[in-house]
Amino acid sequence: MNKKAKILVADPISPKGVELLKQQGLDVVEAYGSTPEQVKELIADAEGVIVRSETKITSDVLSCAKKLKAVGRAGVGVDNIDIPSATEKGVVVMNTPTGNTIATAELTFTHIMCGTRPIVQANNSIREGKWDRKTFKGSELFHKTLFILGMGRIGSEIAKRAQAFQMTVLAYDPFLTEARAKSLGVELIANLEDGLPRADYITVHMPLTPATKYMLDEKAFDKMKKGVRVFNCARGGIIKEAALVEALKSGKVAAAGLDVYESEPFAKDSPLREFPNVVFTPHLGASTKEAQEACGIEVAELIAAAVKDGIIRNAVNAPSVNAETLAAVKPYVGLCEKLGTLIQQISANKVQKLKVSFYGKLSQLDNKLLMLALQKGYLKLVCDNANDVNAPSKLKHLGIEFEAVNSSAESDYSELVVVESVCEKGEVRSVAGTVMGKGLMPRVVKIDGNDVEISAKNSVLLLVNKDKPGMVATIAAILGNKNYNIANMTVSRIGADEALSVYELDEHPSSEVVAEIEKLDSVDRVKVVDFS
């Protein structure tokens, strides 16, 4: 008789999830609150492990696992799991990214309601023995305008609820197409600044990236109408807290609701605590019985399928190809992810379609892994938690068509990957890459048909400039004066008197340096691309 596969449930999940594992004929060991040493002992013969955020699956813990096939995270974040170590050990790491969508959407709308009618403040007054009906005058959502920043799963659910209250819904999402916005019944706002003055309510549902950090800062608050109400149940740092304090003091912001903060736990001495018209919750986005149950059941299903049948879903670190194919395409995975990141950053207009073409021996292989890497790279700065499994659905949600072509045509390289983006206004951008040298290192070799050679490691400064003597020296002097090291550079002539100049830098250039370069009469366009 075969021995049952052991599943270690290290953190509490829904009892229904535990029961599902047992019904699948698995040996379930519930070990909540175990010390790291106890976890190392328990994991030794486990084939699957389930955690939430409490238990840390470190490289030290993984080194003790002799049979481990899969780690499942009941939730989205996998910061408590050493993914590189798990990958090196051949352990798949999976998460449950959709379980908290409704919970977070409902919490956000609860904050919106509390910012409209001062329920929390009135409750506190009653508890103090008062009966004050004049102070707590509220407002109505009916016919007000809600501005949603970020129209992913949660933003879309917020829109549905706002429409039920007959609110006008504006949406800002640089990666959402007009067709998708129309299907959601929202008005797509191309520039953030255009929507801010129109909004009675603003709620943010974007990942925290360099582009979204302090998206709502002093300048943004200046553009808002007096009496606006602002909410954040997404990521701390999208709203600049110091700017929010000043906007509350001036009366620009009538009410606010926060579930996330620039630093957590929320600082006890934060001046935001002084405002009675701000409602706080301690990062409760996923904290509902239903969300926890959904995550518990889903992670149990994922682990059971991975351990018993080798079926992988919601993988953070695992491809769904056989070992032979993996060995053949592996050198190109990093290349495709970098090409995806590059095409997203150089495409100025909203992308409607991505097309990837494979040349040479790549055209004869199963390129599913490469397609996923490209899509994941494209989404890197667009949304949270894009991985090899959910990238296609996230791309589809944004209304972006994806096409892959295996080409038999000849190319300048024995193996080549070409990526094209087609934008709403008809603009087509393209990038191409291959791998080079004994180490098979990824290299970008073309941008819009122009020959370049970029290692795509850190930050790249792309310039379209007049092709004349002294240009390289001028740019190098500006960068050098600010202590920016040029790791590599390429110049490719465009037509008779223009050139595409590429400067690979060891670090991201400051906005001041970029502005100084932009002011040069001989420079037409400047773009900074980050690969790290």
Active-site residues, by number, are 235, 264, 283
Sequence-distant (≥ 6) Cβ neighbours of residue 246 within 8 angstroms: 218, 221
Q: CA–CA separation, 335 vs 356, rounded Å?
A: 13
Comparing CA positions, the residue from 397, 357, 391 lying closest to residue 377 is 391
Give the dihedral sign, CA 357/363/368/372: negative
421 φ/ψ angles, rounded to the nearest 5 degrees: -120, 135
Q: CA–CA separation, 446 vs 437, rounded Å?
A: 18
Q: Are 69 and 307 in contact (CB under 8 A)?
A: yes
Q: Are 416 and 434 in contact (CB under 8 A)?
A: yes
Comparing CA positions, the residue from 369, 325, 346, 355 lying closest to residue 525 is 346
DSSP state of 364: G
Comparing CA positions, the residue from 318, 249, 297 lying closest to residue 9 is 297
The length of the chain is 532
| CA count, 13 A, side-chain hemisphere, 169 | 25
Pairing of strands 168-172, 228-232: unpaired
Q: CA–CA separation, 58 vs 65, rounded Å?
A: 11
Q: Are 220 and 147 in contact (CB under 8 A)?
A: no
Q: CA–CA separation, 507 vs 285, rounded Å?
A: 35
Mapping DSSP onto H, E and C, the string for 208-266 reads CCCCCCCCECHHHHHHCCCCEEEEECCCCCCECHHHHHHHHHHCCEEEEEECCCCCCCC
Q: How far from each other are the two terminal CA atoms of the chain, in whole angstroms?
A: 51
